[in-house]
Amino acid sequence: MSSREKSFLAILMPIMALFFLFNTLPLIQGFLYSFTNFRGFGTYDWIGLRNYADLFQDSRVGNSYRFTFLFAVVSTVLVNVLSLVLALGLNAKISAKSALRGIYFIPNVLGGLVVGYIFSFFFTYILPAFGTAIGLSDLSSSWLARTDRAWLAVVVVAAWQSIAMNTLIYISGLQTVPLDVYEAGAIDGATGWRRFRHLTLPLIMPFITINMVLCMKNSLMVFDQIMALTQGGPAQSTESISYLIYSNGMGGGQFGYQSANAVLFFVVIVVISVFQMKFLGSKEEQL
């Protein structure tokens, strides 16, 4: 073995050991606990697939999946539409373009819990005061205390923070479209919406695929915003799967049961991500 190969191994082995210790090993342990009635402490027994069977009969788990999928779909569509519109604007020939890009990226720098607590104050005090002042009854009470509006508040906060990164990726995609494609399209009369529909959109499909897959995955795993804004309430109307696994697994004495829920959720995310990549990948165009 050459000295170069020894150097690579000396760098690689500690990283692989840490990855196994803090990522792979907990994953294997969680999978094994999913076949037990472990409560997080004390002794436990092997119960086979009973946890998995119970998941499909648990109405609370079903409601969590229903909320999470609704949140993920609405959030993914909203974030990607707004991000693409912002990217088109920030990629145009406007003044102070670099400064505006920096300002729009600020939400992504802030932590999810910090943003959540700031918006919690906004939805609890500022928005109701504003709604009362203008006489709009729908805004005069806190959305976070209403079962029909709390999920919308979580969507607003998550979208506000996610748009920054998606916009950056879309700007990168728009800058890869060659100018001669637009010039050739202009000769054929492709301008405005027709240029965007038939030239820009097909050529940035790889970037749309990346954003859609990442945004859907992150939305399905929503946790920080739930923790800071609603903690699953009111009446468990905003209880996401990740929050349910955390709250009942760590503090509810259901470690084994929620480990099974986590394993099932992992499989669901992988299936959705693979489907998205295959479907959106088939729409991509190459020059």
136-164: pLDDT as tens digits:
888 888 999 999 999 999 999 999 999 99
Provide the mean pLDDT of the chain: 91
Average pLDDT over residues 118-147: 92
Residue of higher predicted confidence among 99 and 54:
54
> How many angstroms separate the CA atoms of 161 and 138, rounded?
24
Which residues on neighbouring strands pair with residue 46, listed in sequence order?
36
Residue of higher predicted confidence among 114 and 1:
114
Residue 283: its pLDDT value, please? 78
Out of 12-21, 131-140, 176-185, 192-201, give the one with best mean pLDDT.
12-21
pLDDT band with cut points at 50, 70 and 90 for residue 286: low
Average pLDDT over residues 14-38: 95
Check whether the bond before 107 is cis (ω within 30° of 0).
no
The string of pLDDT tens digits covering residues 216-258 is 999 999 999 999 999 998 999 999 999 999 999 988 899 999 9
Dihedral Cα 195, 198, 204, 209, nearest 10 deg: 140
Residue 287: its pLDDT value, please? 60
Per-position DSSP letters for 218-258, written without gaps between them = HHHT--HHHHHHTTT-STTTT--HHHHHHHHHHHSS-HHHH
Average pLDDT over residues 159-183: 90
Average pLDDT over residues 104-116: 85
Query: Which of the 8 DSSP states describes residue 145?
Result: G
Residues ≥6 apart with Cβ < 8 Å to 258: 244, 245, 248, 249, 252
